[in-house]
Amino acid sequence: MLEVTGLTARYGRAQILNGVSLDLKGHEVVALLGRNGAGKTTTMKCIMGLLETKTGEIRYDGQSLMKLPPHMICRAGLGYVPEERRIFPDLTVEENLEVGQRPAREDAPEWSREHLFELFPNLAERRSNLGKQLSGGEQQMLTIARTLMGNPKAVLLDEPSEGIAPVIVEQMARVIAELKSEGLSVLLSEQNLHFARAVSDRAIIIEKGAVVYEGGFDELDANPEISQQYLAV
Ligand code: ATP
């Protein structure tokens, strides 16, 4: 469904990605792991059309995304939740969700506000609160919920467990499982191996802008030297 082949990218003269290849199939949750600065965010930005200095190929549902602007990539069915929370602080939770609303797609689940409030009970309780009144974890949830209002087929989540309270991390895991059961695919950038293992079908590790491991978590557990070498464990 999503297929990245030989992706390179640079910031100015600094080469950051050196030929990343990965794929995400339908109904699959894949963890993109790697240390700080390994290139996870850059990979996601390239997929979403947010970085133009890239070469290689990115295909989604048979269509090349390489030359498409971000809004066309969203329209093709990809949703993106960046690491920094992007909410409107002076709009209420409900208004934030309205802003994210896009037409339904035939081939993806359609999300209503009420459906999202079932998935995110904390947000339901705070539906009339302003974005800026929410905790960091709730803002993270709201960013995800708003992205879902666009009715994507696949979502890219950049470090969803980063900097949020353990109880919210647990809720996040439940949300990701629910997205998968609704039929979405999820590519998840993570540094938290424990969280990644709990929610993902398989792992891809990148280091210095290249894939160094691709496989299951059992295999990773059986070979602890891989995690020691490439992850901050
Ligand atoms: P993190 O957990 O820190 O987000 P990451 O694996 O997502 O790590 P990237 O954010 O993709 O890593 O960063 C990869 C490299 O690109 C790092 O060396 C970083 O310093 C560099 N980099 C990121 N953004 C920029 C930028 N706007 N300009 C220049 N260099 C950048």
Q: Is the distance from the beta carbon of residue 160 to the nearest atom of ligand 1 less than 6 Å?
A: no
71 DSSP 8-state letter: H
Strand order in the sheet with 2-11: 14-24, 2-11, 54-60, 63-64
Which H or E element spans position 188? strand 185-190
Q: How many angstroms separate the CA atoms of 214 and 220, rounded?
A: 9
For residue 62, the SS3 value is: coil
Q: Ligand 1, atom 26: nearest CA belongs to which residue?
A: 11
Q: Is the distance from the beta carbon of residue 11 to the nearest atom of ligand 1 less than 6 Å?
A: yes
Indicate the pTM of the whole model: 0.93
Q: Is the distance from the beta carbon of residue 14 to the nearest atom of ligand 1 less than 6 Å?
A: yes
Q: Report the sign of the C-alpha dihedral through residues 88, 90, 93, 99, in that order.
A: negative
pLDDT of residue 84: 85
CATH assignment of 2-230, given 3.30.230.10, 2.10.60.10, 3.40.50.300, 3.30.565.10? 3.40.50.300
pLDDT of residue 148: 95
Q: What angle do CA 143, 115, 31 make, to 5 degrees?
A: 50
Which H or E element spans position 172? helix 166-182
Closest CA to 1 of 69, 81, 78: 78
Domain positions in the chain are 2-230
Mean pLDDT in consecutive groups of 10 residues from the start of the chain, 233 residues: 97 96 96 96 97 96 95 95 90 94 85 93 95 92 94 95 87 94 95 93 97 95 91 77
Q: Is the distance from the beta carbon of residue 40 to the nearest atom of ligand 1 less than 6 Å?
A: yes
